[in-house]
Structure 1
């Protein structure tokens, strides 16, 4: 029995090492944390190190500590709550690793928490791969938008050139001022377009902040309007003019909206209409993209979002996968409805900033 137990322990240790998953048990009475060898390796500590709450918290990145403390508090005070969070750990050598914590609390017969146990998984490599895919998709989108942007920028440039020629021949100061105002508007339009292209193409550090999702959507539509015109597609927005605030990384949410809008435009090669509507319900905002394109069959809809699966001849299949991951990171999701020959409806749902979350 001892040999079998030892063999089982060795197999478990090997499996944890291969999967980069460790486990821990936190005795809430003695405040002692016992961890597996793989957990110690993830944290960059000697195998037989005995952890305490203080030493564990000291290793967590300062910006992630509050979130961990809140997750632990919920798990201790609310039975059946499983804490599930991703954090950064600073190892003794200064190396930062991304770690996924998953655990729950055990209570005694009196309802008092006595033990917390769970798993620790090193997800650093996975996060790097996801970020590489996200950057790749941004660059691909930026490249595909180049023709539309060239068309969009050419118009204000033509305006500038024309009015520069007129100013040389106009003696009226009043007319000159009017022309200057028109030229100033054209320059600002070029600045807006080039700024949005840079925001999509350059690498971005994830920066969560309170933003107006209506404003983000209108900016994306303005950015893609040139491409829509080239495809004879009309984009119509039905959205409130008052702000609807969400906590998000603005550039990532823009990337999601760009991917969905571009897919809709490309599904209407002979022209059509894309209607974008927004609604609110139960502290959620829904953004629905409805096109009049070729539609997608049911068996293909089920595969949308899978890596490298695409319905487009030259598509990579990464756009929707990246969009799904971004939405999951923002506690949102995306759903599809479609009918072949009639069009497709894509619905994005995101949580709205509530009064309670502002107070917290």
Structure 2
């Protein structure tokens, strides 16, 4: 059976060039903290990637802290803001990634932090006027945490405008940029965000490797103690091969950014047209079908029938997609994003499906997806008529 992978927002295939670089790095077994030549050779590999990433984001190397993934980065940033920077209030939204949402809930429960949720409208957008009004309503130390691109519906936040609003009101700003780093040209010298996060496996790098961007003026402190690694912001021996893999994947992504983004946007536009033609009554959640307003790698589809087994049915045909985010897979209840966007009647009569693309996705794969969806939709139409 031919297999088709359309769940790139969850993870992406490892690039061959990345594997080659990682294998080479694995042959250097030195501990980067050792002072002898073995250790220093490993250290050089790490620092070369740090400089490369910093150059791509227009920041200083000291502001790039390597971690295991975006989840760790987000946890470190949010918890340290509360524990070490005196944050007493967090402004966020109910449609953040679980690693942000649950960490903020923990800070409210354990540290008595006030949490204010900015409710999205029916398109999934946050009101920046409401954000500014909320910031002005109190002078307590505040952290704003809003993701750059929603991982389910792809809605893009005006990250520069939010960062500016936060700066004007004396608040810290953290953005989960896991879905956008290496997919967009992001310049943190122009965007006054204080903290951001990255996972290499979202752009054809290895799982278990990521980084946190931490503005050097922030004063953030480490949560993991036991060594001076990563500018004393994350103790523990670094994952040298993983960091090297992240660096190579980011190099490939940024070098080919224009070609990759053009191809993927064309694939996304083609998918919208083909699904609309194949499944009458289909809709698209949030702004995911709007070029420029949503991330080009993500399309959130709302099928006009209820089928909790749709993911399994597609998988049986060799097609991998998601019914939500990867961190929510297997859950029987709707995701928080869908609860915010759809009313009870819609939730009971429709099925959300997330299709996400990479530069490897082809039109032929989209044709195959649409043929299978057409058959599944026809089966539901027959069932409804007979019922």
TM-score (norm 2): 0.23
> Which protein is bigger by CA-based radius of gyration?
1
Q: Which has the higher contact order (CA 8 A, sep 6+)?
A: 2
TM-score (norm 1): 0.24
